[in-house]
Structure 1
Amino acid sequence: MERRAKLLELDLFRAICILSVILIHATSFATVKMTENNLYGVYNFLNIFSKFGVTSFIFLSGFVFFYNYYPQPLTAAKFKTFYRNRLLYILVPYFLFSAFYFLLRWYQNKKPWDLSDLLPSFGGDLLTGQAYTHLYFIFITIQFYLLFPIVLLLFQRFKWLAASAVILGIVVQWAFFLLNREYWQVPIRGSWSLTYFGHYFLGAWLGIHYDRIKSWLIIAKENITRSKIILWIIMWGLCLSSGFIYVSMFYRAKIYGTRFTNLQYDGLWDIFTLLFPFLLLQVCFLLGKRIQTTWWVGRLNHLGVVSFGVFLIHPLVLLVYRKFPVNGGSPWIHHLWYAGGFFCALFISWIIVTVMSRMSWSWLLFGNVSSQLKGPTQPQRTVEAPPSTPSSSA
């Protein structure tokens, strides 16, 4: 069976997500150190609202996998190719960057270079995605890679499971939340795939039923009806209002000491992050019409292609940048310094990945970004996009 056409708008989706991830990391210090500043609310908003990035990447993984693979039988050859690509283009970069960041932290903490201590510690961090703060996401992605063939076979065999994927994912997710709170107390809950089952299965459901759903999702003159407009207004209103309330909860907790329950945090986070990918897809399909004609949209598309590499490198840029903090002076100097961290992390990482991707061995660090950059950019392109992770992922 012929592979379904690649949706070029998904690179715009990745680009916006990677911008949100960098924004989270670039404002993290400010949410701790700028609490007395009049603009703390802005930093809090940028940091908390941008949490849609990680969950939207997970949604995108589910969407792309099932959009590409659900219509086809999962043969032994496809199974082998699927895992070979993930091994080469995800696990190899993950191992190399984990080793690099781990050794960097080991050096910073001035620990003795004793292999009997170093190797077990590295092994533990590698197997849990804790070698550096952002690598937990790839650890989550690997968990979904392992689950994917099983879930695909179940969805292909039992159509009712595929039809109820969203409900199934949310039920599993919330069962994990409740059981973990009452009994398990798993440390670092956000590093486990069960936390994101609702988002992954929502993406899977959309990927399976995309051809039937797209007319209700894509905003275009030929699609507009009164019922669709009402649906879009409700969706946007519920998503944005839940996001703003979620942001305000963190602000009130930090500034006024207001206490909220886990149910309130998790509930609003789930509503916000489950709906946001639909809003983002609508925006990207509107922008996608201008990829070939508008310079900044084309650059945004390019950022989406290289986003996996940008994801892996940008914490290093921030680490170096923060070695040169500003001391004293006008508050605006501090605001400019935080803004500079974001732009340096974005553009320096972007340039490094773009330049290095021209080298034949770049797949060791950035997966198959090189082949994506060399490929055509016309809508009829049907090759599979790179594996899913904050960027060159799905």
Structure 2
Amino acid sequence: MSLKRKYLDEVQYARALALFAVFAVHSSSTGVVATAGTDSIMFGVYNFLNIAGKLGTPTFIFLSSFILFYTYYHRDLTAKLFKQFYKKRLLFILVPYVVFSAFYFLIYTRMYGSFDNIPLLLENFLFKLATGNGHQHLYFVFVSVQFYLMFPILLFLFKKFKFIRKYSIFIGIAIQWIWVFLNSEFLQVPSKGSVSLSYFMFYFFGAFLGVYYEAAANWIRNWRKHFAGIALIFAAFAATIYFYVSIYYNIRTGQPTFGNYVVEFAWSTHALFAGATIFIVVHFLSLMKLNFTKKLLTELGTVSFGMYLIHPFFLMILRRIGPAGGEPIVFHSWQLITFLIAFFGSWIIVRFFFEFVPHSWIVFGKGNKLFNIQKIKKGVAPKSF
């Protein structure tokens, strides 16, 4: 059976919300480190943004899994299907990953190293490329590629065994925690965040909703009937944010806190409930008559991958030229300015590439055009976003 699935605007809304979270984390890191006085209000604000925002990358992973299972679960498994699947991922995900790994590697070499030993540089670059360490944010693409390699097997298992489909959320949690335990006690992999097993609860949660999407969407739309369940998810999300933020506040202020397993639990449950909450919120949003808001979120969702790739470049440059301390009003204002320039600068560059640069997918992945230049020349008004 081959079933063409409905395009879901809700996915783009969710990507936009996850993008805001990513920017909150990365833009607040300097504020957390450099704010004088951990008892100040601004330190608490930076700490909250920096920790609560760590839902961003897990949500992107959850959404990636969701859309894959939503799209492919109801199709026949054929060689042609998987050939198309890997062609799209190679072109629109892996190629930009290589481009930006090289981009950041060259920038760091120019800033902090030299080009005297080209063979050694090439060896170092290939190692970083193969381990997802081209830059601190590229691990997300690296673990996504790992999941793409596993996807045909997982899809087969989901189609073959009802038990796996039905209990996939619990199976994903179990796999992730087995990995956490084995790595902590025996393996000691230094870059745990670059291993896909560290995100299996998000993969399997997305897979569950992709398989049972219609039932899940109906459950949300009948929110009056399921008000208690939805309220419980929202409450759990709020509670886990508070717990996770409090743990890191204690760590950063030198107060007694919990061990690594509890920190891992706080992060993973906070991110899991964040994914569930965002999934519900965007379906509520789809029912509202907020046309401009929905168009704006759709646009941000469309350019989110490109913005994710390019935004650290802005942060890198702005932090080199901005104040590292000094008067609080100057320092905190610069943090806000940095966020705004990084956000809108990334947006403008990605949109510019999609509109005007041929083969822009090589740099920023799959995109779209908002304006048809030929129609503008002929006097036909373009569609607004």
TM-score, normalised to structure 2, is 0.92
- Deviation, 1:194, is 0.3
Counterpart position of 1:109: 112
Deviations 1:328-347 (A, max 9, x none): 65312211111111111110
Instruction: Note if contact 1:122-1:131 (Cα within 8 Å) is conserved in structure 2.
Output: yes
- Deviation, 1:72, is 0.9
Looking at structure 2, the residues matched to 310 and 81 of structure 1 have their Cα atoms a distance apart, in angstroms, of 25
* Residue 356 of structure 1, aligned match among 339, 353, 356: 353
Counterpart position of 1:68: 71
**1:277-356 equivalence runs, <5 A:** 277-290=275-288, 293-326=290-323, 329-356=326-353
- Change in CA separation of 1:328 and 1:276 when aligned onto 2, cut-off 3 Å: closer
1:224 aligns with 2:220: no
Instruction: Note if contact 2:217-2:283 (Cα within 8 Å) is conserved in structure 1.
Output: no
Looking at structure 2, the residues matched to 191 and 198 of structure 1 have their Cα atoms a distance apart, in angstroms, of 15
Instruction: Note if contact 2:14-2:301 (Cα within 8 Å) is conserved in structure 1.
Output: yes
Aligned residues: 368
Looking at structure 1, the residues matched to 36 and 228 of structure 2 have their Cα atoms a distance apart, in angstroms, of 40
Looking at structure 1, the residues matched to 223 and 47 of structure 2 have their Cα atoms a distance apart, in angstroms, of 37
Deviations 1:14-36 (A, max 9, x none): 01111111111111111111151
1:3 aligns with 2:4: yes
1:262 aligns with 2:263: no
- The unaligned stretches of length 5 or more in structure 2 are 373-385
Looking at structure 2, the residues matched to 80 and 35 of structure 1 have their Cα atoms a distance apart, in angstroms, of 55
Deviations 1:61-107 (A, max 9, x none): 11111111111112111100000001111111111111111111111
Looking at structure 1, the residues matched to 346 and 110 of structure 2 have their Cα atoms a distance apart, in angstroms, of 23
**1:136-175 equivalence runs, <5 A:** 136-175=139-178
**What residue identity is the alignment partner of 1:346?**
F
Looking at structure 2, the residues matched to 192 and 86 of structure 1 have their Cα atoms a distance apart, in angstroms, of 19
Looking at structure 2, the residues matched to 113 and 3 of structure 1 have their Cα atoms a distance apart, in angstroms, of 54
Looking at structure 2, the residues matched to 53 and 43 of structure 1 have their Cα atoms a distance apart, in angstroms, of 16
Instruction: Note if contact 1:30-1:338 (Cα within 8 Å) is conserved in structure 2.
Output: yes
Counterpart position of 1:389: none
Q: Please give the root-mean-square deviation of Cα atoms over the aligned residues, in Å.
A: 1.7
Counterpart position of 1:57: 60
What is the SS of the residue equivalent to 2:321?
coil
- Change in CA separation of 1:284 and 1:141 when aligned onto 2, cut-off 3 Å: same
Looking at structure 1, the residues matched to 12 and 118 of structure 2 have their Cα atoms a distance apart, in angstroms, of 42
Instruction: Note if contact 1:62-1:203 (Cα within 8 Å) is conserved in structure 2.
Output: yes
Deviations 1:366-393 (A, max 9, x none): 111136x579xxxxxxxxxxxxxxxxxx
Runs (4+) of structure 1 exceeding 3 A deviation are 327-330
- Deviation, 1:360, is 2.1
Counterpart position of 2:121: 118
Instruction: Note if contact 1:59-1:199 (Cα within 8 Å) is conserved in structure 2.
Output: yes
Looking at structure 2, the residues matched to 330 and 217 of structure 1 have their Cα atoms a distance apart, in angstroms, of 48
Deviations 1:45-71 (A, max 9, x none): 000000011111111111111111111
**What residue identity is the alignment partner of 1:257?**
Q
1:233 aligns with 2:234: no
* Residue 366 of structure 2, aligned match among 365, 368, 379: 368
Counterpart position of 1:22: 23
- Change in CA separation of 1:203 and 1:20 when aligned onto 2, cut-off 3 Å: same
Taking only the aligned residue pairs, the percentage that are identical comes to 38
Looking at structure 1, the residues matched to 17 and 61 of structure 2 have their Cα atoms a distance apart, in angstroms, of 14
**What residue identity is the alignment partner of 1:84?**
K
TM-score, normalised to structure 1, is 0.90
Looking at structure 2, the residues matched to 209 and 59 of structure 1 have their Cα atoms a distance apart, in angstroms, of 15
